[in-house]
Structure 1
Amino acid sequence: MKKNLLFIMMMFVGFSLSAQIYINDFDAYADGDYLAVVDADNWTTWTDDPGSAEDATISTAYASSAPNAVLVTGTTDAVFPCGDLTSGAYTISFDYLVAGGQAGYFNLQHVFASEWAVEAFLHADGTTRIIAGGNEISDVTYTQDVWFNVQVDINMNEDEATLYFGDDEIMTWQWSLKTDGTAGTNQLGCVNMYAGIDDGSGDNPEYYFDNFVFEEMVDAIYYEDFDGFNNGDYLAVVDPDNWTTWTDDPGSAEDALIVDAQAETAPNSVLVTGLTDAVFPFGDLTSGAYVIAFDYYGEPGKAGYFNLQHIFASEWAIEAYFHADGTTRIIAGGNEVSDVTYTPGTWMAMQFDVDLDNDEAIFYIDETEIMTWQWSLKTDGTAGANQLGCADMYAGIDEGSGDEPQYYFDNFGFFSVSQGLLPPTIEVDITEIDIMMEEATGTETFNIANVGQQDLSYFVYPTYPVSSKLSPVNYVETSNVKLNTTQAMEAPNYTPGEANTTKDAQMHYDGDNTSAIGWTSPGAYKVAAMFPPSEVEEFIGMELTSVDVFINDQPGETQIMIWGRGSTTAPGPGELLATKTFTATIESWNTVELDEAIALDGNPIWIGYSFFQPNEAFVPGTDDGPANPNGDWLSGGPGWSHLSDNPDLNYNWNIRGNLTGNAMLTFIDIPIDMGMIAGESDEDVDVDFDVTYLLNGVYTAQVVIAANDQEANYSTIDVTVDVILSVNDLEAKDAVMLYPNPANDMVFLKANSSINQVRVNNYLGQLVNVQQFNDAEAQINISDLEAGIYFVVVTTDNAEHTIKVVKK
């Protein structure tokens, strides 16, 4: 059985984005024409002499598809150059007939006239001899005066080739090997239709070929006619490896049903109606060329809708509305087509050609090109991601149409036309750094390798162990609003709210409240601000204890939500760490205390809230911008996007995280903390250590590498630092040493300048002890203090130092 699905293309238009296409049945020429003369752009002869005795001739004597074929006899030596291709996967096929009592021969070459890949001798007695990869097969027979198909599949990415006669696999071999089995060139050079015979056979050559095809191979990533399922089955239940629903709820009202009411290929198709929202993920591909094809049937009197997305639930590439009256509206790349009509109650073939390498896409209906656009553009024409995210078969209707949705789809296929580059794949050469610090500063180096072919982007940051007992919160997504940039709008005639009360330590991007936002449809929404490591860095060790948000109009149920770091390859937060339901005070800032404080360890953190927006309400407050890329996140379901995707709403949400406690002393710095590594390359990353203000002892941390590797978003290196500075080391810098730590009663201080004052504060910042000194050494009695954490503030002639100490 042939392993590629080239001829599935017969049901397509013909993928216009493939590297090279040649199909010729030779029926447009006249009997007796020379092939290299009438098709000079594609054929030549061995010595480049079209019209000579080397040239093949068009003949009506035989034809697989009437009236013509090509005759090879006498001294014919026709050559079809393949372009010296060195990557990709291709199929060469042709119909072949050996005249009765005669012989045939053809070959494929890596390098024209220098290096043969496969040779096929077809003897006059019906036997054969086929040589490739150092192997020889002579047990294959054929019937003379009968047409059969010859096909060679060549995959240079895998360095493999397969030869078929009809549906029978004849031979598979390492493509780059020469016919004698020695190492050759992994290249597709040419096809040679030569009037050759096997040595010593005494045969005479005469054969014909027809319907010659040279095509980049189409690999079926997925193809399903749904006929192996039962009527009434839920699609995402019976095919969970390939289909899901908008909120990942197979078997629910969102799931599509297998039905036998309609079918393009009997008995089954898939019904989309009611609340159906079936999703086919493509794998977030960023390289290669692909075909998505399916048959579509619009129920008479009903409407249909489907879309393709760059990023699931966040970024739409194309939307297609099929109205009940037979009109359509198709939106892609900032353009809209509404002059296409269709006939409800008939099956139509839908096809999308998506070429990520050239950033181009084409949409066809029944072999008619409807639209070509720059694939990476969002539907509104703004810049988006050059990525193939998913197909969404949704029971949607066009706004204001008053239609009801019901349609069917069948024979859904997802095909690879051009092999994409291997995705970025990270390898980090170490998993731990264990360093002994006898000096105050030091540097360690690790290596990041990209063993994929696409560029790897990365960001490196440190985290530190902090006390936090939080576990992820169970949360079920109930919102199902499909947001687009035109649905959000600013509150009219708005009166800005009062300024927020200043807090000692806050994380936020916004300014004072100046506006509020609402959406055209009521529903559940989420808004958030994300704080990356660069924003969290100065607050490591402090705790998030409350959140301030400005609420304008009265919402339904409202919850503060705190999330951990999200995916590096898809927008949005990660695990939900905490929630707090609150009753909002409108036209005002609301301070919501968390039930449990969240300690900041250096990882990204998302702070936001969910709410139900009633009709014609403008709930979440904003500043007057401009938006920080991390200050305007919003969601109406599982996906996330930005408020500023609408350029008229370039604002930040009024969201502020309030922090308490003291930041811890950190000791790791990554001088160059981000970069891009080309495919199959690597680079070193330095990690600087500064333990100037640390006491002797063992300290732990982690270095985190965030990368756009879909399989490994985050890699970690465990860090252990053993600080063993001698007291004499203090001579070289303005520093203070405190010991022992932890302590029971006395703590001792030594500095390299005069100590003037020592203050002891408790965990709440309250002063519990103060003493004056005029010496480089000092001691403090803490025996009467309760067990816990204290901060010793030492003022010297040169500086002020804060040291955390544990009282046992």
Structure 2
Amino acid sequence: MKKFYLPFFLLAMVFLFAKATTNAQVTCDAPNVIVDDNMDEYEAGALGPQADHWSTWDGMEGGDEDGIVSPEFTYDDSPFSLKIQGGAASGGPQDVLLLLGDKTSGVYVLQWKMYVIETLGGYYNIQHIEGSPGGEYAFEANFDADGTMRLNAGTADVRSVSYPHNTWFNVRHLIDLDNDIIYLWVANKFVYSWPFSYQAGELTGTKQIGAVDFFPRSDNDWFYIDNVYFAEGPAAEAGKYCHMSPTVIEPGTYTVGTLDCFGAGFTVRDNGKGSAGAWYSYTPDEDGLIAVSACGSGQDSRVWVFSGGCENLNIEAVNDDLCAIDVPGEKEWASYVEALVTGGETYLILWDNIWDVGNFDFTLDFTTDPPADGDFCQTAIAVTPGTYTIDQINGHGNVSGPIIDHTGASTTNYAQSEWYSFTPDMNGKMTVSSCGMTTEDTRLWIYTGECGIENVNLVANDDDGCDVQSLVSELDVSAGTTYYIEWDSETLDAPGFDWELSFDPEVAVTEKEFLSAFSIRPNPASSDVYVKYSFSEMTDLDIRLFNSLGQMVSAKSLGEVLSGSERLELAGLSSGVYFVMMTDGVNTAAQRLVVE
């Protein structure tokens, strides 16, 4: 038999061609899927023996360390998920590894669904080296029982975000080993980006994806994992990822090309929509207002504006479905957003593929003209108790919840709104209402905290609390805290309406006997009022008069008294509700007074 030998150079050419062909097959639309595991093909019981990509910390499958295939809580009505439940105060015994193959180059998406039992927690880490668990922790994600996820990456507790209990939420990683960077999202909230070569507690390490370790830190951890996905995409291209040279722009018109690959990732739908994006950056020379618009572009779009760079990606504005795609009056599926900007700071603009795949024009405009009062939280109109009129709801600084999530047909907030602020001088109860004051359909949100989509804290809201109007009644409020009141509408440039703010200061009664020692006559009063008091022993008494805002309008120190009456002059006071407060330095009592 004759043997034929290919020349060495020809063998090399065949090898290189085969490798090039394999690499060419990895595209944005057809990534190299390494793990796609919804747990549905397993049988209930130990996980490790049923799949090559699952193992345990010590490599012994089927024992106490192994994961449990369980039907107890499953995503999307599937039959099974992975159950991790702590059985010891010191952690474990379960210690489950998802083997990822020691990848040293490439761009990868790693994600899964997670479910944490109410009042309990969860945990995972990524190991740099698959075959040496514990050698290098790339990072640690601690899901605490209070609903906080704490990230250890480079240093302990470098970032934290909230996460929900008793519901499935997404955990998503974008890892670019070629550029040594990882992005992390939890429950559709961006957490942080950092060099993947970091270790959990060190700034150096091995740039390698080894394994995911799911581990209960104590018997207070109990969680489930489902729909695990690990795939390799093509090399990151400029402008498609935040860290890959976003296109630098100035005010003008620009064309978004085809949106593909995995460089976005804010509120990704299960079919992957929203994962691809086009990134732009703009640095204004001075403070002002930017407007980003795809109105009339012919495409269904979504736009984000961030500050803080790729490391932080603080959401300054987001919009989906505010303006018409083609002709005004048609479906409001195109996007328009405004954001207040600071001179010298760089802002990142992202268009993603939550709906269409790009290929449209957008404009960036900048002005130093200040926005109208009430159009943004930062320009909220300060109010005191009373009745107010909104001329029109047309501000573009809406937070509306915030609802950066899937809500009905839209996937982000798309309302316009008007903002007000109220800062009480004393503790009390606040009521905000449009009930009986308009026929318009109203919606109301109340926040504390600092202005900004990710900074405000929603404390109350109402839609249709009284017919189609809104009511937040007797909300407990604290002295010195600013409460931001947002009225919004899902109808473009909606008509305005009247609304009312009322406030009842807190009446602190520390001793019933102390309160019963007083009476106020007459009440209501128009000129003078008399405070009558009677004690069983000498008492050092102060009497103070407050208006409905908690502001003191008069005060008297009577010294040591036993019984008698004190006249309070009301001349010059506006009609309304006041409060007479009596105190001996230990006990305090207050009575309501109406001035006519």
Larger of the two Rg values belongs to structure: 1
TM-score range, shorter chain: 0.3 to 0.5
Q: TM-score, normalised by structure 1?
A: 0.25
